[in-house]
Structure 1
Amino acid sequence: MSKAAKPATGKNAGGNETADGGKTQRGIQSVEVGGRVLLALAQARGPLALSDLAAAAQIAPGQAHAYLVSLSRLGLIKRDELSGRYEPGPLSLRLGLLHLENQPAFRAAVPRAAALAEAIGLSVAICIAGPQGPTIVRYEHAGFPLHVNLHVGTVMSLPATSTGRVFCAYLPREAVEAMWANQSGGASSGKLAAMMPADERAAFEATLAAIRTRELETSVDAPSPGISSLSAPVLDTDGRLSLALTVIGSTGAIDVAADGAIARALLAAAHDIGAELAAAPSLLATSAS
């Protein structure tokens, strides 16, 4: 048997019994090592040099190079010609999008985001929680072009954007702190207690409480001058944040009033998505019976 097709080995390889009396299935060791390389790249959340990628995957650089050649041929990894660093390839991105498209909240949000953008004539972004922060995974363009670089993959600032503050208001504290640390590039511990002076922190906590009360947050001319936004959470049946809908437009062309027509349309869309998520389990139970 060739080295590339070597079965996974170990105490439980080949169908040996496990501690709970079950049996493990035989696997291909080289595939699992390749998976470690991909996992190391995913956990790094940024391009890596070969030596750093090998160290993270706990394999020798020479062995890592051979895996990277094969993974690059498959499109799972690609190498930047200028920096020489490795990053996720087109197949990895397609698999990630496929996973996302199979999530109930995303499937329910896409048609409503498109309908909302058409109805109000403003751009609408669907954002989910990523390792570095709220990340745009769908962007419905409408109205006049905006002088701001927003696209699928854009990560929103936690403190400086309406979307970021919605995530701060609804995500568990440890998740917010992990994102904060990633956005600060490791320069900060990410602990909310240490990220700002006490008076600013108290004001920020009051802002988050207000967001939870009205289920809406706004930004005017921030973080980009001339651009304003409104963002609303989509909550599941347990009140947990599934994603956020954000309406974005030029300041002056977008009404950011919490009781305005755009806010009402945004909240209605967010509540409709949440209602569909709540109805999904009962619909599945009905169809199964």
Structure 2
Amino acid sequence: MTHPLPPPEAAPRQKVRSAEVGTDVLKALAELTPATSLSRLAEHMQMPASKVHRYLQALIASGFAVQNASTQHYGLGREALRVGLAALGSIDVLKLAAGPLAQLRDELNVTCFLAVWGNHGPTVVNVEPAMGAVTLVTQIGSVLPLQGSSTGRVFNAYLPARATAELGPQPLPNDLLEQIRANGVYSVHGLLMPGVDALSAPIFDASGKLAAVMTVVGAASSFHADEAGPAAQRLKATVADISHRMGYDA
């Protein structure tokens, strides 16, 4: 008795499904790092242990998983770590922030810029100027004061004290730093330049460290730098999206 052949498209579908399950096993191993038992992994995935074991053997054979000979527990292999490091190495906050920065400028019609921590403090690395906007203090390469700007104060709130000590001999009050961290956005009104207001918010990398600060700045007569206002909410949403794309899990 002959059996009917499976539809031509069945094999590709099965391969795709197998790849999806294998990826799920890798994700579960990452979530249960540094090592986990087969039973715990199967329970975590809500999948029969025998099925999980089959995929683990395939992953071990390809170097994406390893099994400890003494504990019999499973963990990520060298190939998985190599791929993960390559992915982290390819992430560039300047590239990831470029598009959202321009979009934010278009939506708010104010100058938006990105700053990273340099040898001399908060350094502007990308600027999206709005028409008729003040750009005197937001040129690429500008170093902003650590305590005299919204950008600097956000860096102050999230960087280790030892990183900012040399540039800020008079530290900001702890209650102000805690307020910045609690709100996730910080506003100033005429602090750096009279008549110019600004909002700043942090961007984090995959390890949870501060990667950059995004700031929107405009004339006080037309720009409302209110930490509870729509501009602040839009800024917070933008930095949260960039942080997520960098691997940060809030």
TM-score interval, normalised by the smaller of the two chains: 0.5 to 0.7
Match of 2:206 in 1: 237
Match of 2:133 in 1: 145
Distance, in Å, in 2 between the alignment partners of 1:219 and 1:107 is: 27
User: Aligned AA for 1:124?
Assistant: C
Deviations 1:141-198 (A, max 9, x none): 11323163420000010111000000000111111113x0xxxxxxxxx5xxxx34xx
Greater C-alpha Rg: 2
- The 8 Å contact of residues 148 and 224 in structure 1, kept in 2 or not, is answered as no
Q: Report the TM-score, using the length of structure 1 for normalisation.
A: 0.52
Any gaps of 5 or more consecutive residues in structure 1? 1-101, 181-189, 280-289
Output the aligned Cα RMSD.
1.9
Secondary structure of the 2:211 match is strand
1:265 corresponds to which of 212, 225, 234: 234
- The 8 Å contact of residues 111 and 135 in structure 2, kept in 1 or not, is answered as no
Match of 2:144 in 1: 156
Distance, in Å, in 2 between the alignment partners of 1:155 and 1:147 is: 13
User: Aligned AA for 1:159?
Assistant: Q
1:107 Cα deviation after fit: 1.0
Alignment of 1:83-122 (within 5 A): 104-122=92-110
Alignment of 1:212-227 (within 5 A): 212-227=181-196
User: Residue 204 in 1 paired to residue 173 in 2?
Assistant: yes
User: Aligned AA for 1:263?
Assistant: A
Q: Report the TM-score, using the length of structure 2 for normalisation.
A: 0.60
User: Aligned AA for 2:127?
Assistant: Y
Deviations 1:52-107 (A, max 9, x none): xxxxxxxxxxxxxxxxxxxxxxxxxxxxxxxxxxxxxxxxxxxxxxxxxx752111
Distance, in Å, in 1 between the alignment partners of 2:227 and 2:135 is: 24
Alignment of 1:3-152 (within 5 A): 104-146=92-134, 148-152=136-140
Distance, in Å, in 2 between the alignment partners of 1:114 and 1:247 is: 11
Distance, in Å, in 2 between the alignment partners of 1:149 and 1:155 is: 9
Distance, in Å, in 2 between the alignment partners of 1:149 and 1:208 is: 23
Distance, in Å, in 1 between the alignment partners of 2:232 and 2:135 is: 22
Return structure 1 stretches of 4+ with deviation > 4 angstroms: none
1:223 Cα deviation after fit: 1.2
User: Aligned AA for 1:213?
Assistant: A
* Count of residues in correspondence between the two structures: 160
Deviations 1:112-162 (A, max 9, x none): 001100111010010000011100000001132316342000001011100
Distance, in Å, in 2 between the alignment partners of 1:237 and 1:260 is: 28
User: Residue 171 in 1 paired to residue 159 in 2?
Assistant: yes
Distance, in Å, in 1 between the alignment partners of 2:246 and 2:116 is: 16
The percent of aligned pairs where both chains have the same amino acid is 29
Distance, in Å, in 2 between the alignment partners of 1:244 and 1:259 is: 18
Distance, in Å, in 1 between the alignment partners of 2:135 and 2:107 is: 22
